[in-house]
Amino acid sequence: MDYKKIGRELTASLGGKDNIEGAAACMTRLRISVRDISRADLESLKKIEGVLGVVESETVQIVFGPGTVNRVYEGFLLAAGLDKSSPEADVNTVARENRDAQKKKFDKPVQNFLKRIANIFVPLMPGIIAAGLINGLTNVINVSTGGALSGIWLYESIRTVGWALYAYLAIFVGCNASREFGGSPVLGGIAGAICISNSAMPLLATYNGSQIILPMTGEPYNPGNGGLLAALLAGVFFAWIEKKLRRIMPGIIDTVITPLIVLVAGSLAIVLAIQPTGAVLTRAIYSVMDFVYGRLGVAGGYILAAGFLPLVSVGLHQALIPIHAMLNDPQGPTAGINYLLPILMMAGGGQVGAGLALYLKTHNVKLKRYIRDSIPVGILGIGEPLMYAVTLPLGRPFITACLGAGFGGMMASFLHVGTVSMGVSGLFGLLIVEPGYQLQYVISMLLAYSGGFVITWLFGVDEKRINEVYPPTAAS
């Protein structure tokens, strides 16, 4: 595969260099910000070598699959004359310019808001995934060996790296939130830092044997109040104040006075209003999770697993990242065990089952080839190639995959499967499953496979539709 050639073809199909604002690569997709969506030829994009699917959203999202997307990204940057320093900052510019064009296809206030929240966390994913894997693996090692490696400097050094991301995640969230909403990242980072407990914090000091009491609550300050949501809200608030001030501040004093006012006013807002608000929202989220998981039980598991793929299809699944981060917080109500993620993982299992049913029942050679190439990574937990190359274009198999995945979600809920981190799925999900629940996870995933397979075999295979989407060639 000639990645430089692919980069040139992508650039041409997107309207040329002058129409491209920026680009970013995630695990399976190349996300490209364009100035004018009408200049992009989305149909020609789909015909470029290696492209498994195209999603038209606030950015043009081109699915290549894991591994391939990183190589294509390098070739595209070269062809489009971009560098890696710009990508994420351009998303909002493109969103504003293209919002009217996108309204016909996407509904919008809620979806746009969730995407902006996702933009805060997407750049953090490499660290979240790596730190999560370290935490998951070291937890398994601790349990399986009875803590035999505890106290060994090399092992504890590795554990410290995994701990560091989650201990200081609020700083990164505040930094990215401020950047996403047009403020200075460093000011947002300070906002996030206020939300992290440190015994040296002056507001936590003891004077004359007593702690400092806040005026509105009558209680000592709790820097962890509101958690990541407080850090996110604080970063957004700091950006809002900064933008308002810069509009009216004389240029000669703007550099000094604006940040000063932002920090002074913002710190008071965090302590008196933002953190209590974050705490209320955090409790509300946990209450909803408790209702769906605890009160609805297996029915809730079915609904969550069956409804997850539609979110993935438009990229909104990334809006769940902050919720997963909260659930995996060792200091949270679930003590770091995330019972939501294993249920959602079953969505990929439903797709794998649907893909296998299609492969065995269809006579279309092209579709069989797509399935053959997509199934292995689907089993490993990367379901987007299978979804965008197979089930979603056909329509009915996408629905049957969702319905089949629900049965795996029911089982994961019934068996109380949890994870100690996030960032992986499928077979790799065994790395982060709570120690002692690996077998239950496998049973749940096998049921998701079976559900997707059976329902698709019975109701999801339409050979006429398959041949319309994947016209047979003469060789076929």
Report pLDDT digits (tens) over 212-271: 888 877 778 888 777 788 899 999 999 999 999 988 988 888 888 999 999 999 999 988
Known catalytic residues? 26
pLDDT at 88: 38
User: What gap in Å lies between CA 352 and CA 424, rounded to an integer?
Assistant: 16
User: What gap in Å lies between CA 305 and CA 282, rounded to an integer?
Assistant: 22
User: What gap in Å lies between CA 357 and CA 378, rounded to an integer?
Assistant: 14
Distances from the Cα of 161 to the Cαs of 141, 173, 212, 216, in angstroms? 16, 18, 33, 38
**Which residues does the chain have with pLDDT short of 70?**
27, 57-58, 66-67, 83-112, 114, 314-316, 318-319, 330-331, 472-476
Q: Apex CA 157: angle with CA 151 and CA 158, to 5°?
A: 110
pLDDT at 86: 46
Task: State the first-to-last Cα distance of the chain, in angstroms, to the nearest integer.
Answer: 23
Interacting residues of 20 by C-beta distance below 8 A, sequence separation 6+: 11, 14, 32, 33, 34, 35, 80, 82
pLDDT at 175: 94
- DSSP label of 50: T
Report pLDDT digits (tens) over 44-94: 888 888 888 888 766 788 888 766 787 888 888 888 887 654 443 332 332
pLDDT at 96: 36
Task: Please name which of 116, 76, 122, 118 lies closest in space to residue 96, comparing C-alpha atoms.
Answer: 116
pLDDT at 66: 66
Distances from the Cα of 447 to the Cαs of 348, 402, 432, in angstroms? 12, 13, 20
Residue with tokens 């995959």: 401
Q: What are phi and psi of 34, to 5 degrees?
A: -120, 150
pLDDT at 157: 93
Domains of the chain: 3-104 (3.30.1360.60), 168-281 (no CATH), 298-469 (no CATH)
User: What gap in Å lies between CA 215 and CA 83, rounded to an integer?
Assistant: 49
User: What gap in Å lies between CA 152 and CA 112, rounded to an integer?
Assistant: 48
- Give a three-class secondary structure readout of 20-37: EEEEEECCCEEEEEECCH
